[in-house]
Structure 1
Amino acid sequence: MELEFTGEIFHWRGPAPHHFVTVPTDVCQEIQEVAARLTYGWGVIPVGVRVGDTDWTTSLFPKNGGYLVPVRADVRRAEKLELGDTVTITLMLDAD
């Protein structure tokens, strides 16, 4: 299952600071339809992600009824991404 969307990179300054992109509500609804088959606990869902020419694996983090995509520093450097940039993200979920 592949899902594509755009979103803005933001910095969360919590106990484990990181950069994220919020998954839009309509995409979250599609993910929630298969989430029970994919999660490995705490609502976290393993995914493949593509931004530009960079692919990586990570996990979606549940937040306020939706999900966040973490965007690692090496990905931001490779794609020349900065805080506040709008990016197109492709999520690959193994929903079979």
Structure 2
Amino acid sequence: MIVNVTGVLYRWESRRDDWYFIPLPEEVSADIREVPRPGRGFGSIPVEVTIGSSRWRTSIFPDAGRGVYVLPLKRSVREREGISDGDAVRARLDVFDG
């Protein structure tokens, strides 16, 4: 499943270190939830992400408070792509089914 999303980057306030995430839209999160998958740690789902010229593999995670999946965005990508807290970010996700 390939999806294109836009979300506003936010800093996870529960941690002292810098963890940043992009929330996926509700309808995209619902579509991802519908695909049966084997259980993984923290409900994570492996993805390949493209933002600008950056491409890498990571996992998305369910955020119970928001009711959507969130995409972690590491510092190296934020710096390379010039992304800051509060920016709207466009991403292409190749969501792995198995």
Over 2 Å off, 4+ runs: none
Of 71, 74, 97, 1:95 maps to: 97
Q: How far is the alpha carbon of 1:39 from its aligned partner?
A: 4.4
- Read off the aligned partner of 1:83 and give its amino acid letter: D
Q: Is the 8 A contact 1:7 1:23 kept in 2?
A: yes
Identity percentage of aligned residues: 35
Structure 1 vs Structure 2 CA RMSD: 1.6
How far apart are the structure 2 equivalents of 1:25 and 1:5? 11
- Could you list the runs of 5+ residues in structure 2 that have no partner in the other structure? none
For 1:73, the equivalent position in structure 2 comes to 75
Question: How many residues in Structure 1 have an aligned counterpart in Structure 2?
Answer: 95
With the length of structure 2 as denominator, give the TM-score of the two structures. Answer: 0.86
Q: Is the 8 A contact 1:38 1:45 kept in 2?
A: no
Matches of residues 12-91 of structure 1 in structure 2 within 5 Å? Answer: 12-15=12-15, 17-34=18-35, 36-37=36-37, 39-64=39-64, 65-91=67-93
